[in-house]
Amino acid sequence: MRRLSNEVRRYAWGSTTAIPRLLGVPADGGPQAELWLGAHPGAPSMLRTDDGPVGFDEVISADPKGVLGERAVARFGERLPFLLKVLAAEQPLSLQVHPDAVRARAGYAAEDAAGIPVDAPHRNYRDPFHKPELVLALEPFEALCGFRAPAAARAELAGIPGELAATLRADLSAPGPGTALRAAMTRLLTLPGARRGALVTELVAGLAGGAAAGRGVPAARAAEPGAHAATVLELADRYPGDPGAVAALLLNRITLRPGEALFLPAGNVHAYLRGTAVEVMASSDNVLRAGLTGKHVDPAELLDVVDFSVLPIPYAQGRAVGGRSEYRPEADDFALSVMGPGAVRTVLPGGVPWVVLALSGRAELGCTGGAPLTLRQGESAFATAAEGPVTITGRGHFVAATVGGG
């Protein structure tokens, strides 16, 4: 086992305090959005050795089967297929969706063949991998996730004046929920550029209370907007004229309590709004954005990737296994184990790699043939497939990520 040194990603939407608090370091006033633990080429962790820090990718290259395990190498090649993160959102992230594996491979190959540089701002596919993800709330965590029934979205627009509200009501009245939602989302993503801002602003003003006053209800007595309308107003304030703010009406608005989790498969439109969480995902950079961003939006590609089904909110349930809760969603790339808060005594199976992070407290980690290692809050370690099983004994709150399946 080796301790990890991990990079903090400073995106504008990040919290200024949550990650410094976890790591036990002073906040510097700047946003710190994500802590990455893994071998993703965008920000690989470093493993601490007696000879100094060594890149995670170098360790894998030196002994792929010993580090990752034969099953992982046979399934994913000589790469760590998962990435563990701590995500700390003070402001909303972009409205986005991830492709499935088939689409990711095809899109990456097509853009390569077209000669589009992999780091070009207008490129959709940065790698040939899919990006399912699981998010586990550490505090109340707010998000938009998947489509709700068109009738519910249409009801939010009842009585709202203006061209966009009227056309969205018509779109959402189409027979079949998938057809209705596709029509509404397509309209929002393809609004004419010259009029987009005005159309969105008019609808947002109606949601803000002008419609109620216009129907003869005094503005002072107008009802407070519901959760969806309030979300639209908040997003529109941050991103004026962005149709992605209006798209919030089409989606489920949820708050995860601490310890609750979501699994987001390919095609699920989502946006994280605020809160701190642990996130584990397939190690990929493929994100197709629908709005709430200054980055590239490709409406045609995104509409082909989105799943317009009305489905239950994809809560993920952990399974009690040997003193821990284990999350194994429908993704072979990753699994997540959660230990605590409280007394911890568990054994992580051998034959697979493990990344372990202490969220609070203190624990002793032990493995085959190696000296024990102590983890305290904010510290992390990596155990190779050859070193397992890994025992964890202590008190606190810990998470551990590994490959999924089986």
Residues known to be catalytic: 289
d(CA 46, CA 377): 18
At position 210, the amino acid (one-letter code) is: G
Q: 3-state class of 127 per DSSP?
A: coil
Whether 310 contacts 149, CB under 8 Å: yes
3-state DSSP assignment of residue 272? strand
Give the span between the Cα atoms of 180 and 406, in whole angstroms: 38
Say how many C-beta atoms besides its own lie within 10 A of residue 336's C-beta: 26
Question: Measured between alpha carbons, how far is 114 from 108 in angstroms, rounded to an integer?
Answer: 10
CA–CA separation, 202 and 56 (whole Å):
51
| Range list of H helices, 98-206 | 101-113, 150-156, 163-171, 177-189, 193-205
Here the tokens at position 119 are 């780091």
Say if CB 361 and CB 380 are below 8 A apart: no
Q: Which residue has the tokens 């004026």?
A: 240
Question: Which amino acid belongs to residue 142?
Answer: E
Handedness of CA 264, 266, 272, 275 (dihedral sign): positive
Query: Which residue type sits at 185?
Result: M
